[in-house]
Structure 1
Amino acid sequence: MHTMWKGSISFGLVNIPIKLHAATEDKDIKLRNLHSKCHSPIKYEKVCPVCDEPVEQSDIVKAYEYTKGKFIVLDEEELQALKKENEDKAVEILDFVKINEVDPIYFSRSYYISPGDSGSKAYALLREALKESEKVGIAKIIIRAKEQLALLRVFHNTLVMETIHFPDEVRNFADVPNIPAEEKIAKKELDTALLLIDQLTTTFEPEKYTDEYRQALLELIETKKNGEEVVITNQQQPKTSNVTDLMAALQASIDQTKPPQPKKEKATTKSKKKKSTSAAKTKKEA
């Protein structure tokens, strides 16, 4: 597994040399843009719209647009000085909290943490301490010149670091438009909704969820690569109901999710068996 960052974790006077490895990967299928006439990849050039000429990388500077059309130019030396100053910092654990106090909206990216040279014992100590305390560590780290807030937790037997957003990076929920105020919900509606949730409740098994679009796209690409005829079928869409009444929609949903009932033995069959048994018994007695 590729090492993308080396450093150390520090909490109190304990220092653990570590390595970071990306825990997730983007499996989106990336498609290239080609010229339809000759199927050559499209080339994108950096062009100055004022000078109307191509711009070389050496002629580009970085700047911050503080108002529309006005910029503060930042020298590369200034940016490098800030980067070097921050790069020396380790993953410093600031606090320990219960993980249920951190809403998932704050989560950004996940990284596996492995111990560096001579760091195995301290790594194992932190892992066991987090398990026993049922806490997670809140820390700061610099990744690619950007200071990040992070959360350290245990995943199976491995330490994981989740980069999390700073509070000012999470938009205010109060600004979301058209959120309904307190609505009067009938008890029957709530009970039916809870019943539907109960019927759909299961154990989380991530393996059963797949990216159907990606799979279909891969199959299409493979078919075309092999020179086979492409046949696109109209997949049957799930049946939708025109029911607009909330209670009726809930009940219809429950009916759709009910587990199949075992078949009952027909009463006529039982009756026939009983009748034939009685007749045989009478005949024998006679």
Structure 2
Amino acid sequence: MRAIWKGAVSFGLVNVPVRLYSATENHDLSFHQVRASDGSRVRYKRVAQADGEEVAYRDIAKGYQAQDGTTVILTDEDLSTLPHRSSKEIAVESFVPSAQIDPILYDRAYYIEPDAMGAKAYGLLREALRESERVAVVTVSVRSRMTMAVLRVLEDVIVLQTLLWPDEVRDSAELNHLDEVSEPKESEVAMARMLVDSMAGDFEPSEHVDDYKEAVEALVTRKIEGGEVHQAAGEGDQDDSGEVVDLLAALQRSVDRAKAGRGKAG
């Protein structure tokens, strides 16, 4: 596992040298737009809305659209003047009850691992969080953006969970039909409670399967085995945007394993 960040957690006068690792990975299926006749990838060009002219990457700047619709161009020099905290520090601001943070605010999760010299202080912070049943509210710069986050304990590792800013959560008052929801009768509530009790259980993530992903992979595997593939001339495993095409490679490995398994069975 490769660290994406190296710095220190600071709480009070204690500094804990740590490394940060992504705790999750995205397994979403990725489909590309291709020409149906031969599977050739469809490419997109960056063009200016004003005249349709293609714009070179070196000529692209950052633009911020104001509330009145006007666009303000921000240069690297402009952005360098903005306030920012060291990207090498996770600063603990307070310890709060975890129940006070609504799960809707949780965003990305990262594992925090101590450097060798910070192992003792890491263990101290971990046990303090565990015994207090609180989370540490921190500020941190991850992938160049300053954000709120919390530190919490998961088994034996401290997890940093970034939080959305309050204005990033949409106001539920904007929903259209909530006022049409009526109060249920007590008999209906009692029946619903019985249904909940009859279906009560413990959450076991391993019991839940992404059947759509498995079905797509099985379908693609059958097509590969049947020779229904296209290898367009000049096509590589990576497009201009840097997106890596890894699904086909993973499926090919699955096919190889399946064939090897049939060979052993034979």
Determine if the TM-score, normalized by the shorter chain, exceeds 0.5: yes
* Distance in structure 2 (CA, Å) of the matches to 1:208 and 1:121: 37
Mapping for residues 121-132 of structure 1, pairs under 5 Å: 121-132=120-131
Tell me, yes or no, if the aligned pair for 2:87 and 2:144 is still in contact at 8 Å.
Answer: no
Please name the residue that 1:225 is paired with: 224
* Distance in structure 1 (CA, Å) of the matches to 2:19 and 2:191: 50
Q: CA deviation at 1:8?
A: 1.1
SS of the residue aligned with 2:178?
coil
Q: CA deviation at 1:38?
A: 3.0
SS of the residue aligned with 1:40?
coil
Q: CA deviation at 1:68?
A: 5.6
AA partner of residue 79 (structure 1):
L
SS of the residue aligned with 2:85?
helix
Please name the residue that 2:212 is paired with: 213
Please name the residue that 1:266 is paired with: none
For each residue in 1:81-103, what CA deviation from the matched residue of structure 2 results, as whole angstroms up to 9, or x when unmatched?
548x4344511111111111111
SS of the residue aligned with 2:216?
helix
Q: CA deviation at 1:7?
A: 1.4
SS of the residue aligned with 1:118?
helix
AA partner of residue 144 (structure 1):
R
Tell me, yes or no, if the aligned pair for 2:149 and 2:161 is still in contact at 8 Å.
Answer: yes
Which sections of structure 2, spanning at least 5 residues, go unmatched? 229-266
For each residue in 1:190-224, what CA deviation from the matched residue of structure 2 results, as whole angstroms up to 9, or x when unmatched?
11110100011101111000111001001001110
Q: CA deviation at 1:69?
A: 4.8
For each residue in 1:137-163, what CA deviation from the matched residue of structure 2 results, as whole angstroms up to 9, or x when unmatched?
011111122111101100000000111
TM-score normalised by length of structure 2: 0.80
- Greater displacement, 179-188 / 52-61: 179-188
For each residue in 1:111-166, what CA deviation from the matched residue of structure 2 results, as whole angstroms up to 9, or x when unmatched?
11111241111111100111111111011111122111101100000000111112
Distance 1:179 1:101, change over 3 A: same
Distance 1:29 1:88, change over 3 A: closer
Number of residue pairs aligned between Structure 1 and Structure 2: 228
AA partner of residue 91 (structure 1):
I
* Distance in structure 1 (CA, Å) of the matches to 2:141 and 2:89: 8
Please name the residue that 2:104 is paired with: 105
Q: CA RMSD in A?
A: 2.0
SS of the residue aligned with 1:55?
coil
Q: CA deviation at 1:67?
A: 4.1
For each residue in 1:176-202, what CA deviation from the matched residue of structure 2 results, as whole angstroms up to 9, or x when unmatched?
221147844322211111010001110
Distance 1:190 1:228, change over 3 A: farther
Please name the residue that 2:65 is paired with: 65
Distance 1:86 1:192, change over 3 A: same
Please name the residue that 2:41 is paired with: 41
Q: CA deviation at 1:40?
A: 1.1
Please name the residue that 2:91 is paired with: 92
* Distance in structure 1 (CA, Å) of the matches to 2:50 and 2:181: 54
For each residue in 1:254-276, what CA deviation from the matched residue of structure 2 results, as whole angstroms up to 9, or x when unmatched?
xxxxxxxxxxxxxxxxxxxxxxx
Mapping for residues 19-58 of structure 1, pairs under 5 Å: 19-58=19-58
AA partner of residue 132 (structure 1):
E
Q: Which has the higher contact order (CA 8 A, sep 6+)?
A: 2
Please name the residue that 1:13 is paired with: 13
Tell me, yes or no, if the aligned pair for 1:64 and 1:73 is still in contact at 8 Å.
Answer: yes
Which sections of structure 1, spanning at least 5 residues, go unmatched? 230-286
Tell me, yes or no, if the aligned pair for 2:105 and 2:165 is still in contact at 8 Å.
Answer: yes
Identity of aligned residues (%): 36
Tell me, yes or no, if the aligned pair for 1:86 and 1:145 is still in contact at 8 Å.
Answer: no
AA partner of residue 204 (structure 1):
F
TM-score normalised by length of structure 1: 0.74
Please name the residue that 1:164 is paired with: 163
Tell me, yes or no, if the aligned pair for 2:140 and 2:149 is still in contact at 8 Å.
Answer: yes
SS of the residue aligned with 1:42?
coil
Q: CA deviation at 1:45?
A: 1.2
Answer with 1 or 2: which has the greater Rg.
Answer: 1
For each residue in 1:2-50, what CA deviation from the matched residue of structure 2 results, as whole angstroms up to 9, or x when unmatched?
2111111111111111111111111011111111233211111112233
